[in-house]
Amino acid sequence: MTVPHLTGNYAPVTEELTAYELPVTGTIPAELTGWYLRNGPNPHAAASKHWFLGDGMVHGVRLEGGRAVSYRNRWVRTTTFTEGARGRDSRGNRDLVAGVANTHVIRHAGRTLALVESSYPYELTCDLDTVGPHDFDGKLTTAVTAHPKTCPITGELHFFGYDVFEPYLTYHRADAAGNLDVSRTVEVPAATMHHDFNLTAQHVVFMDLPVCFDLESAQAGTGMPFRWNDDYQARLGVLRRDDPYGEIRWFPIDPCYVFHALNAHDEPGRIVLHVMRYPSMWRADSHDFKQATLWRWTIDLVTGTVREEQLDDRVAEFPRIDDRLAGLDTRFGHASVSGSSGALILYDLHKGVSSAHEFGPGRIPAEASFVAADENPGGDGYLMTYLYNADSDRSDLVILDAGELAAPPMATIHLPSRVPYGFHGNWLADG
């Protein structure tokens, strides 16, 4: 039987490679010095029960002075990878070291961390070797979301962990030096899947949505143990950042699911969120994915209501911004279009319009990271993404001018290996 998440470009690659002086079509901007890293599931046993469950593999390209110096791909050597350990320990407690570390890769306080929402982060070296699990000097007692937010003003890392047992949701904050200084329970009525959240300069906003832990699905072991629940009230929870142990205000919204938020910001008396919204998710099983489009939610802190508006009808995912404007009123954001013909969409959130770079049939981009061209947040920059070419069954790293998105790529870096479809990553500049 064909398993969709193990075929085509979902299929895992079987080798770890290192290659030097990669061929390039076009010109790499000379000021770019650093690593482009992206994480994703790549089951080393060439099998997994769901796309979300494969072992993490990080793919990295090193750029220096206009050259593509090297490519390497490495599995994250978690205890699940090396020992087959996962799940719960002998006392029934959640094993937070076991995990697949397959969803994101970030840098905070000098550490490069591979993330998955079911366990601790795993630290990597600059060459993508695995250092080991990171638990903030023993202070961390929950899993860590794969979507932490770094405040560009304070340098703080805001994140959460969720579990299928109480406490279901815990909010954390680490300072710019990497010290965990806030951990508090967030009261929710059931075990729901919290994949992402929102950060503004003044608030943290949680998304408590009706994809709930399902014991029957967990016992069946055929995929993710979560299903849609028509009886669960979708809602947004607002916490003031200057009172991290204070009251959380909850605001009901229409039923939906959100894997990924684009950005959020404060306005007088309200909070504006931009998210990729699904009308529902996983009604029949966890292999059933609906289609997401860009929506705006405006939380009125005075009236206690939320205005919900669809902004675009084109189906897209993996939204990103210039991360130096996270939590602020950024004008631009972008997202990726897959399907039979790939594209990158650039949203002008102030004017309410969009433009796109169309890659064409069989050319499918992954999530694209914004790479700054200078020190001016919101200024010039590039979009960088892995691009899969179905005709050649190969992948490239493509660099686009974010200000001239419809123009041909500035540079196409040809890779020695296919990069399977994956999740999230970042440009990690030197210095």
The tens digit of pLDDT for each residue in 345-399 reads 999 999 999 999 999 999 999 999 999 998 888 889 999 999 999 999 999 999 9
Domain ranges, ordered by start, for the chain = 155-311
How much is the pLDDT for 95?
A: 87
Q: What percent of the chain has pLDDT over 90?
A: 88
Phi, psi (rounded to 5 degrees) for 83: -125, -5
Helix (H) or strand (E) holding 198: strand 197-199
* Rounded Cα distance, 161 and 115, in Å: 12
CB contact at 8 A, 259 and 196: yes
CB contact at 8 A, 58 and 426: no
End-to-end CA distance of the chain: 49
pLDDT (tens digit per residue) in 146-205: 999 999 999 999 999 999 999 999 999 999 999 999 999 999 999 999 999 999 999 999
Confidence of residue 3 (pLDDT cuts 50, 70, 90): confident
Helix (H) or strand (E) holding 82: helix 79-83
pLDDT (tens digit per residue) in 403-426: 999 999 999 999 999 999 999 999
How much is the pLDDT for 431?
A: 77
CB contact at 8 A, 259 and 252: no
* Rounded Cα distance, 260 and 279, in Å: 14
CB contact at 8 A, 321 and 294: no
Give the mean model confidence (pLDDT) for residues 240-269: 98
Q: Exposed e or buried b for every residue in 359-378, given b needs 16+ CB within 10 A?
A: beeebbbbbbbbbbeeeeeb
Please report where in the chains the tokens 């994140």 appear, as a residue.
Answer: 159
Amino acid at 335: A
Q: Name the token pair of 131.
A: 């250092």
CB contact at 8 A, 379 and 397: no
Please report where in the chains the tokens 């998955």 appear, as a residue.
Answer: 116
How much is the pLDDT for 140?
A: 97
pTM comes to 0.96
Confidence of residue 2 (pLDDT cuts 50, 70, 90): low
pLDDT exceeds 70 at position 97: yes
Q: What percent of the chain has pLDDT over 70?
A: 97
- Mean pLDDT for all residues in the chain: 95
Helix (H) or strand (E) holding 215: helix 215-220
Q: Name the token pair of 297.
A: 């939610």
Residue 82 CB burial class (10 angstroms; 0-12, 13-18, ≥19): exposed
Give the mean model confidence (pLDDT) for residues 281-289: 87
pLDDT (tens digit per residue) in 398-408: 999 999 999 99
3-class secondary-structure state, position 218? helix
Give the mean model confidence (pLDDT) for residues 77-102: 78
* Rounded Cα distance, 188 and 169, in Å: 7
